[in-house]
Amino acid sequence: MKRLVVPLVALAILLAGCKVDTTITVHVERDGSGVVTVDLQLDPEAVRASESGGAKLEDRVRLGDLADAGWKVGAWERTPEGAASLQLSKAFTSPDQVAGIVAEVNGTEGPVRDVRAERDRGVLATSYEVTGAVDLAAMQTGIAADPDLMASLAGQLVDTHAIDQSLLQQVRDALSVKVVVELPDGTTTVQGVAGQNVEIDASSSVRDDRRIFLILLAIGLIVLAVIVFFGGRHSRRRARARGPIPRFDPYGRA
């Protein structure tokens, strides 16, 4: 699969100095399926910055790679005040797919780290857990990871470290990240804090009433079978005990 666009960081770099609010929602159903949704909110200044020079927001923020990877990409919606919002979503059939889906929009340099989702079906209940972190301190621009760009800047005698640090500070100021985990028995919201690592630790447990009913029914049937079995044996013994005592005939007559 070709490298995907990373909206969380790419948007913040594109609109450095503006405001980009991002909400990532992980919704898990009882059977372990669900959907990851990314909601992007750009303030009016961010929209004006992206459309400077006559460009369109839709052209500046290219999301074709995500659509090719199975994401449902909505249309930009604008407010009368000039702000704009966009929603991306991708469904999953198993919790172990969540980590890869989040990585597609977060990348290796993004602020959402080590996301894992698990579903454990026990005898009487099913437990769900989503862990990870919103780490706005460890977020990077990705410039240092691009050798061609680094070589080009160094060839022009540009202080790449200074540019990277300056841009990184603008990115951190521009990007707000919130993670919402919706599990079958509860919702957990984690708001990222600038310069900090905030853990994601959401869990819930749902009682399986159908399985409990079947277990109780099975136990009841077993108890009933035991009662019938031993009750039948006892009745047969009593019947034998009440029967006539055979008479002894010394002449062998019937």
Is 89 in contact with 35 (CB distance < 8 Å)? yes
> Which CA distances in Å does 245 have to 94, 237, 242, 248?
73, 15, 9, 9
More confident residue, 44 or 151: 44
Burial (CB < 10 A; 0-12, 13-18, 19+), residue 111, is buried
pLDDT digits (tens, 9 = 90+) for 86-95: 999 999 999 9
- The answer to pTM > 0.85 is no
The residue among 107, 122, 72, 73 whose CA lies nearest residue 92 is 72
pLDDT level of residue 1 (50, 70, 90 thresholds): very low
What average pLDDT does this structure show over 36-58? 82
Q: Tell me what the pLDDT averaged over the chain comes to.
A: 77
> Which CA distances in Å does 78 have to 45, 141, 162, 198, 244?
13, 27, 35, 31, 99
Q: Which of 78-92, 135-149, 167-181 has the lowest mean pLDDT?
A: 135-149
CA distance 114 to 135: 10
pLDDT level of residue 158 (50, 70, 90 thresholds): low
